């Protein structure tokens, strides 16, 4: 059952207080109908810029605009009552300066109704995170594999394999936590590194391709439901094959239309049942 209108959403302070406690359940959502289905079961709905690939068919998240994120964020807020809603700030909307980041984050929160924003980056983004959080914008951080930096990284691949790289990511995580982020996504890292970061920081860590030791987990919903392409990342468990079911339903529909067995009398107006 979904939460009633009088039930408050899961709050940012409530999520932060879950450090070391009951694991935080997170999934992505981009539309009102999907948000309604997921909302009773999760603590946090992430409106990820992954929508660029999942919804719009882009090759990366880089073409996603602020207006797209606001529109989809508002759709998810309308479709949910229980979960905390966090919206990604897209590439180019926050890296220029803390002031630009605040202006765009304020737009996202005011126009979508979301409770927080998410930004990617480590040491270089700590000043921006501090600027936002001291001005009333709750921030979720994101370290490790950074999809918005796919060109600089040379593709989507696990990071932190060597000691030097691992220490840089640990330093990134500490910097973002100390800057005031309320939680931290760790993506695409070695399991031992994600475990270390979770021990290092005082805020909840949310893993995706990271470690079961993280304080919570997130997946792209379309990946776990079998809706997004044939490729299955190592860290994704497919809990359903809805893509196959949709294809089969469409094939049955097409066959019935061609055979003139759909629509039947029960689907038409003005025809009385015998």
Q: Which residues of 151-170 are buried (b: 16+ CB within 10 A; e: fewer)?
A: eeeeeeebbbeeeeebebbb
Task: Estimate to the nearest angstrom the gap between the alpha carbon of 264 and the chain centroid.
Answer: 42
DSSP states of 10-45: PPHHHHHTTTTSSPEEEEE--SHHHHHHHGGG-SEE
Q: Is 256 annotated as a binding residue?
A: no
Decide: helix, strand or coil at residue 92: coil
Q: Is 97 annotated as a binding residue?
A: no
Q: Counting Cβ atoms within 10 Å, is residue 177 exposed (0-12), middle (13-18) or buried (19+)? A: buried
Residues labelled as active-site residues: 187
CA distance 273 to 147: 57
CA dihedral 60, 103, 8, 1 (to 10 degrees): -20
Return the H-helix or E-strand segment holding 208. Answer: strand 205-208
Give the Å distances, CA to CA, from 133 to 19, 118, 130, 180, 223.
19, 12, 5, 6, 32
- In the block, which residue shows the tokens 């719009």? 56
Return the H-helix or E-strand segment holding 4. Answer: none
Q: Is 88 annotated as a binding residue?
A: yes
Q: Is 49 annotated as a binding residue?
A: yes
Q: Is 50 annotated as a binding residue?
A: yes
Taking alpha carbons only, the member of 16, 47, 8 closest to residue 29 is 47
The binding site for Mg(2+) consists of 49, 88, 120
Binding-site residues for 3-methyl-2-oxobutanoate: 49-50, 88, 118
Annotated binding site: 49-50, 88, 118, 120
């Amino acid at each position: 059952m979904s939460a009633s209108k009088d039930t408050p959403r899961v709050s940012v302070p409530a999520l932060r207080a879950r450090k070391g406690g009951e694991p935080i359940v997170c999934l992505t959502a981009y539309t009102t109908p999907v948000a309604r289905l997921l909302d009773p079961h999760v603590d946090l709905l992430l409106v990820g810029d992954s929508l660029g690939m999942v919804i719009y068919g882009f090759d990366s998240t880089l073409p996603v605009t602020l207006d797209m994120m606001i529109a989809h964020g508002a759709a998810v807020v309308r479709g949910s009552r229980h979960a905390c809603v966090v919206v990604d700030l897209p590439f180019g909307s926050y890296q220029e300066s803390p002031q630009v980041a605040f202006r765009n984050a304020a737009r996202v929160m005011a126009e979508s109704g979301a409770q927080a924003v998410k930004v990617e980056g480590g040491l270089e983004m700590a000043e921006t995170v501090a600027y936002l959080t001291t001005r009333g914008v709750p921030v979720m951080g994101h370290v490790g594999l950074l999809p918005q930096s796919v060109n600089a990284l040379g593709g989507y691949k696990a990071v932190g394999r060597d000691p030097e790289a691992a220490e840089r990511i640990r330093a990134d995580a500490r910097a973002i936590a100390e800057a005031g982020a309320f939680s931290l996504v760790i993506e695409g890292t070695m399991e031992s590194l994600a475990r270390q970061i979770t021990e290092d920081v005082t805020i909840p860590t949310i893993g995706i391709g990271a470690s079961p030791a993280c304080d919570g987990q997130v997946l792209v919903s379309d990946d776990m439901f079998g809706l997004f392409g044939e490729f299955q990342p190592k860290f994704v468990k497919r809990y359903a094959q809805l893509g196959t079911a949709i294809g089969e339903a469409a094939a049955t529909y097409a066959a019935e239309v061609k055979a003139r067995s759909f629509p039947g009398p029960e689907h038409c107006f003005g025809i009385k049942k015998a």
